[in-house]
């Protein structure tokens, strides 16, 4: 059952996101998430893997990859190396995310560390790596095709409110004032406004919330990945109160405007 109302307007909000490559000589000001839940996963040239702590949902992974694990497909031309290494991360049933692990400096390939965001709803993580060159050679470091698997822990003070594509809503745990609340919103719930132009998503989704009928605040619940819109899993800190109300709005560059508000009643969640 589609719980939405449709009318026309002219606004658009879209966001992009990606893995960030870090300076190979130091972490600089990267720092990870605000909650400090950043874990470095190291892949050494003797084909061992280790993590310096638990991988936490809503945090980040820093991938430290020794390039000597993938020595195939290397080559150079006109005094410059012409190969690279790419990392891939997959969380649960989500789509893989790719990130660069090399860059070219003065004709030489040098290693990068990359920081990858862990979705707030993730329960598992898989990593694998590829190398390629300008002549089409490809090689893999993927644990013999099984990928490198890691468990993902949920924060104890985090509740996930999931709004699924089939119009089901679930709550992972009770919400208490001061807890982190993750909003996982499936863009397909408001797909009437979906569209792209020039290879980029040309629509966006905004979430709105208020506590006990007070001031309305907003957050972006989706971001662009190329021509598609995907859940961005934003977080909010639960304020004091008893009732958290939420609703959602999609807009596009073509004037589409659609609301998901439980038939105008909004979605309500208790704050303990």
> What ranges do the domains of the chain cover?
5-16+155-270, 36-153
Pairing between β-strand 80-81 and β-strand 76-77 as defined by DSSP bridges: antiparallel
Report whether pLDDT(22) > 80: no
**Mean pLDDT along residues 106-110:** 96
Task: Render 153-180 in DSSP notation, one character per residue.
Answer: EPPTTEEEEEE-TTS-EEESS-B-TT-E
> What is the structure's pLDDT at 37?
76
Pairing between β-strand 76-77 and β-strand 83-91 as defined by DSSP bridges: unpaired
**Mean pLDDT along residues 96-113:** 96
Confidence bin at 3 (pLDDT 50/70/90): very low
Any idea which fold 36-153 has? Immunoglobulin-like (2.60.40)
Q: What is d(CA 105, CA 138) in angstroms, rounded to the nearest whole number?
A: 22
More confident residue, 93 or 134: 134
**Mean pLDDT along residues 237-250:** 95
Q: What's the pLDDT tens digit per position in 49-98?
A: 999 999 988 889 999 999 999 999 999 999 999 999 999 999 987 789 99
Tell me which of 9-23, 75-89, 136-150, 192-206 is least confident. 9-23
Reported pTM: 0.60
Residue 144 bridge partners (DSSP): none
Report whether pLDDT(29) > 50: no
Average pLDDT, the chain: 87
What's CA 252's distance to the chain center, in Å?
22
Q: What's the pLDDT tens digit per position in 162-203?
A: 999 999 999 988 998 888 899 999 999 999 999 999 999 999
- Contact of 85 with 102, CB cutoff 8 Å: yes
């Amino acid at each position: 059952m589609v719980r939405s109302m449709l009318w026309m307007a002219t606004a658009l909000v879209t966001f992009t996101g990606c893995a960030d490559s870090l300076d190979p000589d130091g972490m600089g000001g990267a720092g990870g998430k605000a909650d400090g839940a950043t874990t470095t996963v190291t892949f050494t040239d003797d084909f061992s893997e280790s993590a310096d702590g638990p991988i936490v949902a809503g945090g980040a992974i820093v991938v430290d990859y020794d390039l000597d694990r993938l020595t195939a497909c290397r080559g150079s031309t006109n005094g410059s190396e012409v190969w690279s290494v790419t990392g891939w991360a997959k969380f649960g049933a989500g789509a893989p995310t790719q990130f660069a692990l090399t860059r070219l400096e003065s004709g030489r390939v040098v290693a990068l560390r990359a920081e990858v965001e862990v979705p707030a709803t993730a329960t598992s993580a898989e990593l694998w790596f590829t190398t390629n060159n300008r002549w089409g050679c490809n090689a893999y470091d993927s644990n013999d095709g099984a990928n490198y698997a890691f468990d993902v822990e949920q924060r104890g003070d985090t509740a996930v409110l999931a709004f699924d594509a089939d119009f089901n809503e679930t709550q992972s745990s009770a919400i208490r004032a001061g807890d982190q609340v993750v909003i996982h919103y499936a863009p397909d719930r408001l797909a009437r406004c979906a569209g792209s132009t020039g290879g980029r998503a040309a629509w966006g989704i905004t979430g709105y919330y208020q506590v006990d009928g007070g001031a309305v605040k907003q957050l972006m619940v989706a971001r662009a990945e190329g021509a598609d819109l995907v859940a961005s899993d934003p977080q909010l800190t639960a304020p004091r109160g008893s009732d958290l109300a939420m609703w959602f709005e999609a807009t596009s560059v073509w004037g589409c405007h659609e609301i998901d508000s439980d038939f105008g009643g909004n979605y309500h969640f208790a704050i303990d």
